[in-house]
Amino acid sequence: MESTLYPTFFGVPIIKDQQWEQFLKFGVPLYQEALQGDWETAEEIFTQSTDWLNASITKRNDRALHIAAAAKQVNLVRNMVDKMSNSDLELRNSSGNIAFCFAATSGVVEIAKVMVERNGELPNIRGSAGMTPLLMAVLMGHKDMVLYLLTVTHLAKLSKFDRIELLTSSIEAELFGK
């Protein structure tokens, strides 16, 4: 007999007792470790169940890599990326953002470099509202990230609209001459 529906936890709908138990056992601790950057605990979770490396752990379908990048957890991101494929790094959340978008908005260039070393196409993958990671970094005013992304983004593929938006956003963010 099917169990009754449980309420959502962090917005993640849980349907069966076993799924709820698995989420409590792996998903919740993984979310906490992604925020705190605890690789040892995260690695234990991935060892016990490799599915959690790419599992959605939030209401917005963020994965642990999305959370770790946003939380600026360089070592955790590095270790997770080592276990991932190129396509794993391209997984999107409900807003259409890949983890690299979170890296771009974090301003931590080292996180972006780790991801680009694994998958050089990440800077060219648009996120929510069709924005490039470069534009996201500009909007956040992260000068060092912008300078790095300028070296790894295929600028020739940007439309005239993209270029104008980058220019006007750079001026608004006071990133003159970049």
Residue pair 139/169 in contact (Cβ under 8 Å)? The answer is yes
pLDDT tens digits for the chain (178 residues)? 333 444 565 665 555 667 778 888 999 999 999 999 999 999 999 999 889 999 999 989 999 999 999 999 999 999 999 999 999 999 999 999 999 999 999 999 999 999 999 999 999 999 999 999 999 999 999 999 999 999 999 999 999 999 999 999 999 999 866 4
Q: What is the model's pLDDT at position 10? A: 62
All domains of the chain in start order, with CATH: 17-172 (1.25.40.20)
Q: What are the distances in angstroms from CA 115 to CA 17, 49, 168?
A: 36, 23, 28
142 CB contacts (<8 Å, ≥6 apart)?
104, 105, 106, 107
**How many alpha carbons fall within 13 Å on the CB side of residue 6?**
17
Please give the model's pTM, rounded to 2 decimal places. Answer: 0.89
Whole-number Å distance between alpha carbons of 69 and 173: 22
